[in-house]
Structure 1
Amino acid sequence: MSTRTMDSDLLADGPADRLVRVARTATGDSLRSVTYFTRSDYDQLYLRDDLEQDADLMSFIGHEWHDFKNTRNAYQNSELGTYRHTIRTFENGFLLRITTERDGVFVTTDGLTMQDFEAVANAVTTVLEDRTE
């Protein structure tokens, strides 16, 4: 299966490449796309060749930031613990959203196990946190 890795205007090459690499390592051929985003912009870092680059990502990201704030606030003192990430299930795949206070990453995949999603989320979180130190 062919892949397309794109250049990023928001991230240096090192962190952008690392995000794609850790997502690819954790998901294998199930990886569909990797998108890095801030509150005001985004860069699609990776898109599998059998997919088309036609999603309205900016609108989607706006909704996700709004939902993230509401979700985080709603579950702030939950006995479930601290919010970590979101998995959304769609007809043709899954979306994993990992966010920090200032940025985030969407990883879309074909089917994965919960352990695979955990591995991706942990790896992406490490890359995002390493950028802030």
Structure 2
Amino acid sequence: MLYLRSDLYENDREQARKAKRSFVDNERLGFDSKETYRGLETDPDSEPDIGTYEFTIRVFSEGFISRVIVGDQGIILTTDGLDLASFETVAIALRVLLKEL
């Protein structure tokens, strides 16, 4: 699932579809958080234990992309700006939603 800010590509649906496809394709890389962060949790000698994966924020000059993964499902959303606490609140809500699916 991908939420794309309403002001992005608002006058061009085809461009919006292409952008969404690009975002999703990029975020699929490393989609399995256990595989992506292997070693951080299972091998304490390789990296410090930083806990379990919660969500990803990618920062761009004109906005943010956030990704939340639960199991083999995920949600990607875009926003023009939030503080870290708001990103965490959104991520928690999305994790609850994904667990219910």
Superposition TM-score, scaled by structure 2 size: 0.71
Q: Note the C-alpha offset of 1:130.
A: 1.1
Alpha carbons 2:64, 2:79 under 8 Å: kept: yes
- From 80, 84, 94, the counterpart of 1:114: 84
Deviation, 1:94, is 0.5
Query: 1:110 offset after TM fit, Å?
Result: 1.0
Inter-partner Cα distance in structure 2 for 1:46 and 1:59: 12
Distance 1:86 1:46, change over 3 A: closer
Matches within 5 A, 1:1-133: 36=1, 44=2, 47-48=5-6, 50-52=7-9, 53=13, 54=15, 55-69=18-32, 70-77=35-42, 78-131=48-101
CA contact (8 A) 2:56 2:66 kept: yes
Q: 2:65 touches 2:78 (CA, 8 Å); kept in 1?
A: yes
Q: Secondary structure at the match of 2:31?
A: helix
For residues 10-62 of structure 1, the C-alpha deviation after alignment (integer angstroms, 9 at most, x for no partner) is xxxxxxxxxxxxxxxxxxxxxxxxxx0xxxxxxx55641x3214244334323
Runs of 4 or more consecutive aligned structure 1 residues displaced over 6 Å after TM superposition: none
**Structure (1 or 2) with the greater helix fraction:** 1
The verdict on how the C-alpha distance between 1:56 and 1:96 changes in structure 2, with shifts beyond 3 A counting, is same
Unaligned 5+ segments in structure 1 are: 1-35, 37-43
Residues 4 and 20 in structure 2, CA contact (< 8 A), matched pair in contact too = no
- The structure where strand makes up a greater share of residues is 1
**Superposition RMSD in Å:** 2.2
1:111 and 1:98 mapped to 2: Cα distance?
A: 17
Query: Are the equivalent residues in 1 in contact too, given 2:4–2:77 (CA < 8 A)?
Result: no
Q: What is the CA distance between 1:103 and its match in structure 2?
A: 1.3
Report the CA distance between 1:71 and its aligned residue: 2.5
Equivalences, count: 88
Give the whole-Å Cα distance in 2 for the aligned partners of 1:59 and 1:51.
Answer: 14
